[in-house]
Chain A
Amino acid sequence: MRLERAELLQIYYFMRLTRAMEDRIRTLFLQGRVAGGVYTAQGHEATTVGAAMTLRDGDCIVPQHRDLGMHLVRGSSPRAVMCQWLARGNSPTLGRDGQMHIGDMHHGIVPSISMLGESLPVACGVALTMKMRKRSTIVLASCGDGATNTGPFHEALNFASVQKLPIIFVIENNGYAYSTPTYKQFAIQNLSDRVVAYGMPGETVDGNDVLAVIAAVERAGEHVRSGKGPALVECKTFRVRGHSEADKADYVPKELRDEWLAKDPIPRFEAYLTKENILTETVKAEIEAKVKTTVSDAVAYAEESPAPDPATVADYVFAPAGLISIVGEPGAADPRYVNALDTRTGKPFTTMDAATIKTPEEVGRR
């Protein structure tokens, strides 16, 4: 895939935005402003942004917990993300859930859960529907190295292959499942070797090289879009911080972390863009300003947003009765369908109430 200048800069912007959002989330955590645990993905930006950049309209993602980049590329709002971390009543989960467990099918995003690997069978169902409805769209489903050891990972890959489902599986191998290094998790060198058991193509790429990730996921996508069934890409990257912010990760040898810090995907891509004369000092400053504004706006918005109303604690357990539309088909967003709007609020999914939107200036700089 030949990428134009504007596309390359967009990729760079999303990588920077992902990093900046997570840096800010960590600060908020240290300040005691995040309700629960914080799980970020410094080092994953090339993988999570790059893989999502290959998608087209109507494609779906089934992200994991370290896929903020994938979310941002596919349209999750930074405000929604911050509301989710800060457990606001207007977050996509209405404060019921935390982390990056957000999404809705109208935006083509399946919300993940903490049981890693369990989202992959769900990805099969989304892809099965695309196949049944004879669509040309595909699913991008990601998981970590840890999740490749679960039953649902293997059940999903096998089922997807047997049914020739349009899914790209991306494994973000970041070296550790919490504190457990890969050599204690599996006895193979490359997780792409797992595909041999399922009869699908697979390859391993440098997950810190965004252009290599894009090229590999594009190749997988060509196979998947041609109706030949699923394909897998293992992106080898590294989780340079702990599993969560409560984890010092002192089990990671210093030399190993330093080695990967030197391979940080953002400076690497920056160096390439600078060498190619795409990222000038002026352009870089513009992008940084945009990133800063976006992050500040999201945080300010979230902090201004209300906490969930305790009186609603018993609500939303069951969906109401009524017609359901097939997502992505003409008329599917007609509000008479139960799944057209978020029936818990009667408003569009993940969209914040316009009446409460304030600029950072209005709420004061923090």
Chain B
Amino acid sequence: MSAVTYLEAIGQAIREEMRRDEAVFLLGEDVGTYGGAFKVSAGLLEEFGPERVIDTPMAEAAIIGSAVGAALMGMRPIAEMQFIDFITCGFDQIINMASKMYWRSGMPVPIVIRGPSGGGTKGGPFHSASPEAWFFHTPGIKVVVPSTTYDAKGLLKAAVRDNNPVLYLEHKLLYRLPELREELPEEDYIVPLGKAITRREGEDMTVLTYGAMVRQCLKAAQTLEEEDDLEIEVIDLRSLTPLDLEAILESVKRTNKVLIVHEDILTGGIGAELSAILAEDLFEYLDGPITRVAAPDVPFPYAPPLEAVYLPNAEKILTAARQLAAY
């Protein structure tokens, strides 16, 4: 048993779910013969054939809409967006068709929509999206964001088995990151949706984060321990919908200070809702302002110096955490 990458873990999850349940199938652009733009689905066509690994035309409404139709029939399709940015082309199928279907008709829509998200790869404004806030705002769809190889596999398996639309946002910067290589259990496992995990324990401050920012937060927390003698608790949310409120509130009640970090832009982001929840529920527990580190409110830029200054990172997190600690 050898260590696998985050990307390989996603491929394993799809393969194992397709072996386990004949209702599971994959459709998307270039997912078959080519094995996907990032090779997530490499080898699946050979194993499962073109009826269950479907190369589609470049048509996101057809991809997501077909997934919805198949799910109404009791299938469990996985619809790949080649880059998650392209999800906007199929937006209506998610917002108006899939997410409202059970609520208005009683028929479950067990689909997974997944694709590479996030920046740091010089992808520019159309290949770097963090689209979670649109769907976080939408009732009826779950949103998960894995930050480790173990979670990448376990959350995807849980998403496939869930009876609702699930948006699974994999981060392309993590796909082949050597530090994320991990030996995974031989046996079948899932990571349940709606459960956060504490990546690092501490009593001085809670950092709420997810996705690629988890590593940046852990890096900053390490520095704060070594240089500032601060014990920072880092909570990886893993699921944005459903949100693990219990874990969040328990930690902040203990640390009394909270820093929220995400790669998506600031305004109307996940951090905005978390801030509102904390202000409403834990007003009397807070010993400092709820603080957010996020991308500025502009589209994602292409040029390397612009991308570098745009993205949140350990350094920016460190600065914000020090200010909050000193408050």
Contacts and interface: CB of A to CB of B under 8 A. Distances in A.
Interface residues of A, number: 58
B106 A104 contact: yes
Contacts of B102: 316-319
A155 interface: yes
B69 A129 contact: yes
A152 interface: yes
A127 B68 CA distance: 12
Contacts of A162: 57
A118 B69 contact: no
Interface in B70-109: 70-77, 92-93, 96-97, 100-109
Given A318-B140, A324-B76, A339-B74, A156 B163 contact: no
Contact of A125 (B66, B100, B140): B66
A342 B101 CA distance: 12
A152 B54 CA distance: 19
Contact of B69 (A128, A151, A317): A128
Contacts of A110: 69, 72
Interface in B182-211: none
Interface in B30-75: 51-52, 54, 56-57, 59, 61-62, 64-75
Given A97-B104, A155-B57, A113 B96 contact: yes
A118 B73 contact: no
Contacts of A125: 65-73, 75, 77
Given A96-B104, A319-B164, A349-B106, A159 B69 contact: no
B33 to A, nearest CB: 14
B304 interface: no
A321 B65 contact: no
B310 interface: no
B86 to A, nearest CB: 13
A126 B104 contact: no
Contacts of A155: 57, 59, 61-62, 65
B39 to A, nearest CB: 24
A202 interface: no
Contact of A317 (B70, B107, B140): B140
A124 B65 contact: yes
Most chain A C-beta atoms within 10 Å of own C-beta, residue among B56, B62, B139: B62
B110 interface: yes
A327 B92 contact: no
Most chain A C-beta atoms within 10 Å of own C-beta, residue among B56, B96, B105, B139: B105
Given A113-B97, A327-B74, A316 B61 contact: no
Interface in B1-48: 23, 25
B73 A129 contact: yes
Contacts of A102: 105
Given A322-B163, A328-B73, A101 B104 contact: yes
Contacts of B163: 318-322, 324, 338
Nearest to B74: A326
Contacts of A103: 105
A319 B57 CA distance: 30
A324 B198 CA distance: 33
A92 B105 contact: yes
Contact of A124 (B25, B66, B101): B66
B194 to A, nearest CB: 11
Contacts of B108: 319, 324, 338-339, 343
B162 interface: yes
A215 interface: no
A131 B74 CA distance: 14
Interface string A304-325: 0000000000001111111011
Contacts of A325: 74
Given A96-B104, A125-B73, A339-B108, A118 B164 contact: no
Given A155-B57, A321-B163, A326 B73 contact: yes
A118 B92 contact: yes
A124 to B, nearest CB: 4
A129 B92 contact: no
A266 interface: no
B10 to A, nearest CB: 23
Contacts of B54: 163
Contacts of B110: 319, 324
Nearest to A105: B72
B142 to A, nearest CB: 8
Nearest to A160: B62
Given A317-B103, A317-B139, A158 B62 contact: yes
A188 interface: no
A128 B62 CA distance: 12
Contacts of A101: 104
Nearest to B56: A159
A132 B96 CA distance: 26
A105 B73 contact: yes
B23 A326 contact: yes
A345 interface: yes
Interface in B279-323: none
A124 B107 contact: no
Nearest to B111: A125
B107 A152 contact: no
A20 interface: no
B252 to A, nearest CB: 25
A342 B96 CA distance: 20
A327 B71 CA distance: 10
A316 B106 CA distance: 8
A152 B89 CA distance: 10
The 8 closest A-B pairs by CB, nearest first: A125-B69, A121-B65, A319-B108, A342-B106, A125-B66, A155-B62, A326-B74, A155-B59
19 contacts: A93-B104, A104-B106, A104-B107, A111-B101, A115-B92, A118-B65, A118-B96, A118-B97, A122-B93, A125-B75, A126-B72, A126-B73, A155-B59, A155-B61, A162-B57, A318-B163, A321-B163, A325-B74, A343-B106
Interface of B: 23, 25, 51-52, 54, 56-57, 59, 61-62, 64-77, 92-93, 96-97, 100-110, 139-140, 142, 162-164
Given A125-B66, A126-B69, A317-B103, 7 more contacts: A96-B103, A97-B104, A105-B72, A115-B96, A125-B72, A159-B66, A327-B74
